[in-house]
Amino acid sequence: MPAAILDGSKIAAEIRSEVAAEVKALSAAGMRPGLAVVLVGNNPASEIYVRGKVKSSGEVGLYSEQHTPSDRATTQQLLDLIADLNRRDEIDGILVQLPLPPHVDSKKVLLAVDPAKDVDGFHPMNVGFLSTQRPGLVPCTPAGVMEMLERSEIRIAGQEAVIVGRSDIVGKPMAMLLLNANATVTVCHSKTRDLPGVCRRADILVAAIGRAGMITKDFVRPGATVIDVGMNRVTDAQEFERLFAGNSKREETFRNKGSVLVGDVHPQVAKVAGAITPVPGGVGPLTIAMLMSNTVKAAKMRRGTRVPELART
């Protein structure tokens, strides 16, 4: 029996609808939440991501503005911009699109963002809040995965969860969120011995390693829930054959475009998993939905008692 498909686009639409209702209530009280996006230089991939974020902001009713310093901007100039955004009361969320140019001290710039406006959830203070189960802003992708599991009624408490990947953006916060939800959590990485054997213990397997189709059927216990965080573009014909041999729809896409998207999970895993996220259309849409949600959350936390009762739900 093929795996149930966990539709990230559908769940993201539900979240955006809820966010839009909160934004409407806050705006009616004169407190429209605001998001500022900082995009340095002309990185084509970053420009696509930022366009998506700005478009989503408009769709849910957030105030948004985009700041586009040139790729020659210095660390100090960016710090000055962040300081100005920190001071402005109408800006509730600040997002610095990565990567920054090589000459910029990225860590210094990210650290300068007010933790109360850190809608990416990367600031050490928010990381600390997450690890000690205090209210704060949580990284968007892991937060989206939790929404997907909960809204799909997939049991977390008491389950064994395995995460492949230990990044600060996904792996580590994912581990803390699952641990806080009473799962038993193992985090794997490049030095893990017998990686397939460890993964096969999982009731919930999260792949966030950044390698196309690395998680194959022998990594997955039959019936497990598999969350694929990866997004890899395959352009090599031999690699495409390894992943999609016999898939006529993907073969047509590859012929026409010369590339195809695949996650960190091999498509054949769908034959053994109990539930699985597709790529595209799985975790990706949830990341932007949770950015919108985090902006509203930041507005409510910052504005405290001024928030109308309706928007507290």
- 53 annotated active-site: yes
- 105 annotated active-site: no
Catalytic residue among 97, 159, 297, 300: 97
Q: Which candidate, 121, 66, 120, places its Cα nearest to that of 95? A: 120
- 10 annotated active-site: no
Amino acid, single-letter form, for residue 213: G
CA dist., res. 1 & res. 28, Å (int): 49
Catalytic residue among 92, 114, 120, 228: 120
Active-site amino acid positions: 53, 97, 120
